[in-house]
Amino acid sequence: MKGPATPDFSRLPSMTTLLEGAAADAELRCLPRGPLTDALREAADELRDRLRRQEGSFDSADAVARILQSAREKIASRRATRLTRVINATGVILHTGLGRSVLAESAVRRLADVAAGYCSLEIDLSTGQRGRRGQYAEQLLCQLTGAEAAMIVNNNAAATMLALRGMAAGREVLVSRGQLIEIGGSYRLPDVMVAGGAVLREVGTTNKTHLRDYEAAINDNTAMIMHVHTSNYRVVGFAESPGVAELTRLAHSRGLVMFDDLGSGALLDDDIWRAANEPTVIESLRTGADFVAFSGDKLLGGPQAGVLLGRRETIDRLRRDPMARALRVDKLIIAALEATLELYQDPAKAKSEIPILAALSEPIDSLTHRAEELAAMLREALPAETLTVAQDESFAGGGSLPAWPLPTAVVRWTPIGGTSVDDIARKLRIGDPAVLVRINQGAICLDVRTIPMSDARGLTEGISLMKQPC
Ligand SMILES: *Cc1c(COP(=O)(O)O)cnc(C)c1O
């Protein structure tokens, strides 16, 4: 049988017709002309291709409507890749996919204030002379930790690379096999070592590394012993490795540099870290390590940054590396970091005002109470659905505290009528506000630990506005 005749493409609407159609469309008419014509042209091209492949029928009367609809979808899916505020109902506090730490209000205000005008980035206002960017944040870091000197760079990966370049380029660095970490795929210690121009010398085994393994590996070309905090995993069971203090003694007795990559950056000298078995910055510095590095946006609760603390001589040397310029932070980061560090001057304030610290230490009674409140709000919005409060577990996330259970309370939503939870989760993700949930045993779980009450109302509205799947 012969197929249908080739469609008459001249009957496809012109761009002028499409633009007229868009001008009458409530959604499309708000768009700037550039992205609008791009989306219309793409949609028209696709329709033409489909017709050429003889898929579907061609009725010039509905071609305009079809192209406009397809353009609307294209614009919506492009918008979904835009950086968007998200409600995190997953219970993963430092969610890497959701931007790790959330800034304290004072940090947000400082950031907005500095962004809205000129600022004293490299001017010392008291003298009018040139100042060093980040100097105040560095002073705060020294004051809070007792370090001699501090340096702030783009992230901990940058801090580590700079440390290796400055102190061990072309020479060997001893690392235990139990500490060859990978953080989120693109950060793998052996690769960072290469990028820093140092030679990785693995010592010991995955589960056991002894001090004598380090001793035996030292040769004329050894520059450094590096201790890496296994921040996102733990080696448990028949396991052993020397601590930073022991390694520092060995390093110094053999004229080597001791570097502690702490990763998470627990800055408070506080019980929560002892309970979680998480080494703190202060403890690390007390061992006498020459320098330590950690992230600004993990347990510190600030913006993305890498902090290097150590002896003045060492830090000054790293500062002179031309690469330091490429890895430096901008004024917005400095503003947020300074305001975050100021909160640490009063530890009680840090614990209550830095959102991730508050989330980590919220007691179960308070969580249960908040989960009940949220469930009540949601029952009003979704009267037909089954919503219960249940016990569950939250996670610190962001490559921190992997073995620390955080009992929490969640609102469990078991959809009626066999609606797919994945379908609901997808609708919530693309909703306004965007909501990310945890799915557990056929239910949508909303963990209140990562949902401040200010988000709970938005969450309820978002869920009730979501096109009812049922
Ligand atoms: C997270 C982490 C890093 C990487 O830090 P970024 O700030 O993400 O670059 C490096 N080392 C350790 C031990 C870490 O935990």
Single-letter code of the amino acid located at 211: L
Whole-number Å distance, alpha carbon 229 to ligand 1 midpoint, is: 9
pTM exceeds 0.85: yes
Q: How far lies 160's CA from each of 85, 183, 281, in Å? A: 30, 13, 15
Match 């510095």 to its residue by tokens: 285
Q: How far apart are CA 24 and CA 383, in angstroms?
A: 37
Whole-number Å distance, alpha carbon 183 to ligand 1 midpoint, is: 6
Hey, whose CA ends up nearest to atom 12 of ligand 1?
A: 263
Peptide bond into 363 cis (omega under 30): no
pLDDT band at 3 (very low <50, low <70, confident <90, very high): low
Domain coordinates in residue numbering, the chain: 13-79, 86-97+360-465, 105-353
Is residue 415 within 8 Å of residue 408, measured between CB atoms? no
Mean pLDDT of 216-224: 98
Ligand 1 and 90: CB distance under 6 A: no
Single-letter code of the amino acid located at 135: Q
Exposed e or buried b per residue across 285-312, where buried means at least 16 C-beta atoms within 10 angstroms of its C-beta: bebebbbbbbbbbbbbbbbbbbbbbbbe
pLDDT of amino acid 470: 37
Is residue 266 within 8 Å of residue 231, measured between CB atoms? no
Q: Which atom of ligand 1 is nearest to the CA of 155?
A: 7
Measured distance between the N- and C-terminal CA atoms of the chain, rounded to whole angstroms: 44
pLDDT higher than 70, residue 2: no
Phi (first) and psi of residue 443, to 5 degrees: -125, 155
Tokens found for residue 20: 């007229």
Hey, whose CA ends up nearest to atom 11 of ligand 1?
A: 263
Tokens found for residue 348: 């009680």
Q: Which atom of ligand 1 is nearest to the CA of 159?
A: 9
Ligand 1 and 228: CB distance under 6 A: yes
Ligand 1 and 21: CB distance under 6 A: no
86-97+360-465 architecture in CATH? Answer: Alpha-Beta Complex (3.90)
Whole-number Å distance, alpha carbon 403 to ligand 1 midpoint, is: 17
Q: How far apart are CA 121 and CA 357, in angstroms?
A: 29
pLDDT, tens digit, for every residue of 335-387? 999 999 999 999 999 999 999 999 999 999 999 999 999 999 999 998 888 99
95: CB partners within 8 A, 6+ apart:
88, 397, 398, 436, 450
| CATH placement of domain 105-353 | 3.40.640.10
pLDDT higher than 80, residue 4: no
pLDDT, tens digit, for every residue of 268-287? 888 788 878 889 999 999 99
pLDDT band at 1 (very low <50, low <70, confident <90, very high): very low
Mean pLDDT of 170-174: 98
Look over the chain and give the mean of its residue pLDDT values, rounded to a whole number: 92
